[in-house]
Amino acid sequence: MSPKNIVVLTGSGVSAESGVATFRDADGVWAKYDYREVATPEGFAANPALVHEFYNNRRRGLSGVSPNAAHFALGKLEAGIEKSGGQLTLVTQNVDDLHERGGSKNLLHMHGELSKSECAVCGDVRKCDGDLSVESICVACSQPGGMRPHVVWFGEMPRFMDEALDAIAAADLFISVGTSGSVYPAAGFVADARSAGVAATELNLEPSENAHLFTDSRYGPATEIVPAWVGEVLNAH
C-alpha cells in the first residue's frame, strides 16, 4: 500500500552536499567549536559577541548555498502526496532555509531558523538577513541588548513538538533523513512512531544510532537515495 500520510524528519546530512557542514562528522561544526560556548543560553550569557559571530557567519553562508536534489525531491514529494489527497509534514532540525527553497511548504523548524531574529525582551520574531550584535536594537520594542538568533540552543525547548508528535501519531510512514539520531527529542521520534505502529524508514549516509528501530533503511548520499526513494513512492501513487 502506498503511504498517504508521511512525516519526514531531516538533519544536517540532507544539506551536506549543498556545502552546509554537519555537526558530528569528522569535519563537522562541533569539531571546530565547543557547543557549550556557542549553542547554550549559558554560553550566550558568558560571551554574546562570540555567539553572535558564530551565527552571523552561518547566516552569511546561506546566500552562498543552494538546495540540492534531496531538498527538491522532498518538495516534489509533498506536492505529489497532497495532489493525491494525502499529507506530508516535514520536521527539520536544520536552521538553514534550503527546504523552503527546495519547495517544501508544510515545514516545522524544530530548532529554529537562522534567517530570523528574536528579541529576548519582547519576544518579537522577524526576518533577519544581516548581522546581529550586542548593540542591535529591537525594531518592535526599541530595546538594545536582547537580540539573539531565532535558534534553539541546548537546554531550550525545541519548537512545534505538539505538532510534530501529533503528525507522527497520525502518519502511516515516518522517514528520517541525514541525522545521526544523537539529539533528543528528535532522536526519539522513530521510537514514538514505532510505538504508534507507524512504519519507519532511515535514509542516511550510514546507520544512525537508532538504526535498529527502523523497519527499512537505505544508505548512501542524500542526493542519490532521497530522489530514488521519492520516485518509488510517487510511482506507487
* Interface residue list for ligand OAD (CB under 6 A): 11-13, 16-17, 22-25, 28, 39, 93, 111, 152, 154, 178-180, 182-183, 204-206, 208, 221-222
Q: Which residue has the cell 527546495?
A: 102
The two beta strands, 107-109 and 173-177, are unpaired
2/127 Cα distance (integer angstroms): 38
Nearer to ligand OAD, 138 or 225 (CB): 225
State in angstroms the smallest separation of the CB of 134 from ligand OAD. 21
With CA atoms as reference, report the closest residue to 71 among 21, 23, 107: 107
Task: Judge whether 212 counts as a catalytic residue.
Answer: no
State in angstroms the smallest separation of the CB of 4 from ligand OAD. 26
Residue of 111, 150, 212, 237 with catalytic role: 111
State in angstroms the smallest separation of the CB of 78 from ligand OAD. 19
Using DSSP's 3-state secondary structure scheme, residue 66 falls into coil
State in angstroms the smallest separation of the CB of 144 from ligand OAD. 26
Residue 209, judged by CB atoms within 10 A of its CB (0-12, 13-18, 19+), counts as exposed
158/135 Cα distance (integer angstroms): 27
In sequence order, the 6+-apart residues with CB closer than 8 A to the CB of 92 are: 9, 10, 11, 14, 99, 107, 108, 109, 110, 111
Nearer to ligand OAD, 110 or 171 (CB): 110
Nearer to ligand OAD, 23 or 138 (CB): 23
Nearer to ligand OAD, 28 or 80 (CB): 28
Question: In the Cβ-directed half-sphere of 195, how many Cα atoms lie within 13 Å?
Answer: 5
Q: Write out the catalytic residue numbers.
A: 111
